[in-house]
Amino acid sequence: MATLDTEVKKLEDNKVEVKVTVPVEEVAKSIATAYKNAGKVRIPGFRPGKAPRRVLENHYGGKEYFLAEATEEIVNIWFPRALDAEDLIPLKKAEFSLDETVQEGEAYTFIGTVIVKPELELSSYEPVQVELPSDKVSDEEIDQQVESLREYYVTYDEVEGRAACEGDTVILDLETTLKGEPVEGLTVSGQPYEVGSKAMPDEFDGNIVGMQVGEEKEFDFGFDEDLPEAEGENERMHVKATVTNIRTKVLPEVTDAWVKATLDYEGVEDLREKISDSIQVQKSQQMPDLKDVVCQNELVSRLVGEPSEEMVRNAEQSIYRDFFDMLQKRSMTFDQYLMNNDISPEKFQKDTQAQAKESSAASLALDALARNLGLAVSEEEIIAEFERSGIADSQKLYSEWKANGRLPEIREGLLRMKAARHLNDTAEVFDIGAKPEPKKAKKSKVKADNSKAEDVKADSKKAEDKKPAVKKPRAKKAKAEAKDEAQE
């Protein structure tokens, strides 16, 4: 393959100008191809492909047509290769400055401008210090599981001779209105409700406490900030509530006899051992992912600056594509998903935007770490990544991606994976609450954005409570795309 000359000039707003010079022999090939393609049409007096250039030029209105066609082919073929050579990944389509068309016997130079990701720095490149829950099973964790079993096998006794108390389950008939209109979901009969469960505002519970069976009460209440998705947020509702029954929980006593009869274990000690084994398996499976998330969150807290709008927008579009692909595979509509998960379209959009920003920030933090460490990805590693994809002709696919200038995507993903491994391997891990106080920071050439720092313990809790929002390194995604392309 012929070599080409490239010059890169950084502009403002994450724009990069790429000047590409294509050798004269490649220009000649593109011009020849333009004539060859045009000659495939039938021209009176000539067989297809046999008309001379002069005849073709007369037929198509002049030589300029062919030079324009050759110019378009040159740009389409050689600009992706220039991006590959300079290891650039554009965030949107390039804009070209094509002042002139190619000319016979001359090399051709053109300029393309692309928007790329910003290169941000970290306030510190020292190993991260993180807090993680112990990987050992505690008696408290076993007790929690035992208590959950008791709750599962709970029974209820009807209450006689007293009013409803916190912790009771009351059976309610509710007639709830908002601005005179019935509120769906809160206008029901025979609705069980546990007083003090926080499923309703404290104001609601306060009015139920003290009511007797058969008693009717009317009162107003509103949903507070703890229930932001509730209908009628910040508006007062009126309800007529009738207590038709009061029940109290009866939790079973965990004895050897109950365990044998109900759970088919030898006894309480056997049950606790089985629970301990189960928790240990879960921890061994979850701790690596949890460590990944907590370490990455700590690294992101050191990021100086914000992801660009284009980068976040691209990440958001990628999340949407993956999400709707998932829905299609499950034969589920978007409305069904929203209904099953009890979220509004607005909240879904807001959550997706937040996830896109988080994943973009994590990517930039890993990029900064990779640059600082001087990490690199060899051509052999990229080829090996294609081979691991399981594609029958991985070498052919690799060549196609190289020709289309897409190898930087694979290289970027592999670099992030290497940076993430280094981040985890060098992290100092402490039990919750045992992390030492941070030392007074030394002056750094990079000004830290302290407003982005987060409490590490909160990060640990966040990682346990939800699936990591940070997307996996792009290399794996690119590999999956490669496999899909090969199947097509």
Residue-wise pLDDT for 246-271, tens only, equals 999 999 999 999 999 999 899 999 99
For residues 41 and 135, is the Cβ–Cβ distance under 8 A? no
For residues 158 and 246, is the Cβ–Cβ distance under 8 A? yes
Strands 188-194 and 169-178: antiparallel
Residue-wise pLDDT for 5-62, tens only, equals 999 999 999 999 999 999 999 999 999 999 888 877 777 777 776 778 888 888 888 8
Beta bridge partners, 423, equal none
In order of start, what are the domains of the chain with their CATH numbers? 5-116 (3.30.70.1050), 155-250 (3.10.50.40), 285-487 (1.10.3120.10)
Can you give the pLDDT at residue 224? 63
Can you give the pLDDT at residue 2? 61
Strands 169-178 and 181-182: antiparallel
Other residues' Cβ atoms within 10 Å of the Cβ of residue 68? 14
Cα 232 from Cα 178, distance rounded (Å): 7
Cα 90 from Cα 63, distance rounded (Å): 34
CA 60 to mean position of chain CA atoms: 51
Can you give the pLDDT at residue 362? 96
Beta-carbon contacts of 350 under 8 Å, excluding residues fewer than 6 positions away, are: none
pLDDT > 70? residue 310: yes
Residue located via tokens 């309610």 = 172
Residue-wise pLDDT for 181-228, tens only, equals 999 889 999 999 999 998 999 999 999 999 999 999 999 999 864 444
Nearest to 36 by CA among 3, 58, 69: 69
pTM of this prediction?
0.69
Which range (54-63, 89-98, 122-131) has the least confidence? 54-63
Confidence of residue 378 (pLDDT cuts 50, 70, 90): very high
| Residue 237 backbone phi and psi in degrees, to 5 | -110, 155
Nearest to 161 by CA among 217, 214, 216, 240: 214
Strands 15-22 and 108-115: antiparallel
Nearest to 293 by CA among 424, 135, 415, 474: 424
For residues 460 and 366, is the Cβ–Cβ distance under 8 A? no
